[in-house]
Structure 1
């Protein structure tokens, strides 16, 4: 089952500085389930080594067995450079709070 649930969209509060300046600690985002990501998309992921922990990162490459993702703030991000390929569960389409704006052009 998708950790984002069965509904097509889910609100998530950002925790930590790994996606600054795009997203900051405390921002609220809207993620779309079951959407195929592409390079450059901000996504919600999990890693095999960290089951149950959702992370928000940016897709840098695809691989047949997973996705290479990185935070926008490399000095404050634990991502595919440390944990390997990630499983993508949703694509972030908008920041809802503060300063609402779309994050994906699709």
Structure 2
């Protein structure tokens, strides 16, 4: 197995099988699953630094899915973003955090061959506090599927609305 340190956007460390093993597993039709860890806040509030991700290699991607991809300018880096929409040449991807712009606004459309996997499940890290109530609370919310939004509206339009609401809530909370 190879370990790849990744930077930029929601940065992750992921274990990858070498190409020969991947092709062999694909030929046999085995389910290809991997783990990755989030290091940066570009996908907050959906994903937080420290979250572990279960990813499915080769899974079909639809608009709204959270995906693991190779950074278009540094293909040795893996990043996680939301696939917003299909465009000529690939996917327009964006982070859920409106204050981090390491996404298609910076590097444009991402070709299909750079999309590595679809995020299937998010696993929260264990809390430092080990009280019974704290552990029960963690257990209830630790494993959560990562799904596309259910709204029929455009993800691009929805994103702006969420960012504006989040900012106004933060301002009111101060």
2:120 maps to which of 90, 93, 96: 93
Instruction: Give 1:34 deviation, angstroms.
Output: 0.3
Q: When the two structures are superposed, what TM-score results if normalisation uses the length of structure 1? A: 0.87
2:78 paired residue number: 54
Contact 1:47–1:85 (Cα < 8 Å) also in 2: no
Higher fraction of strand: 1
1:65 paired residue number: 89
Q: Distance in 2 between matches of 1:74 and 1:50?
A: 22
Structure 1: gaps (5+ residues): none
Q: Which moves more between the two structures, 93-102 or 16-25? A: 93-102
1:1-106 mapped onto 2 (5 Å cutoff): 4-5=16-17, 6=22, 8-86=32-110, 87-98=114-125, 99-104=142-147
Q: Distance in 1 between matches of 2:98 and 2:70?
A: 18
Instruction: Give 1:97 deviation, angstroms.
Output: 2.6
Instruction: Give 1:4 deviation, angstroms.
Output: 4.3
Structure 1 runs of 4+ aligned residues shifted over 4 Å read: none
Q: How many residues align?
A: 103
Contact 1:60–1:70 (Cα < 8 Å) also in 2: yes
**More relative contact order in 1 or in 2 (CA 8 Å, sep 6+)?**
1
Higher fraction of helix: 2
Instruction: Give 1:62 deviation, angstroms.
Output: 1.2
Q: Which moves more between the two structures, 37-46 or 95-104? A: 95-104
Instruction: Give 1:64 deviation, angstroms.
Output: 4.1
C-alpha RMSD of the superposition: 1.8
Q: Distance in 2 between matches of 1:74 and 1:29?
A: 21
Deviations 1:13-67 (A, max 9, x none): 0010000000000100101000120000000011331111100000111134221
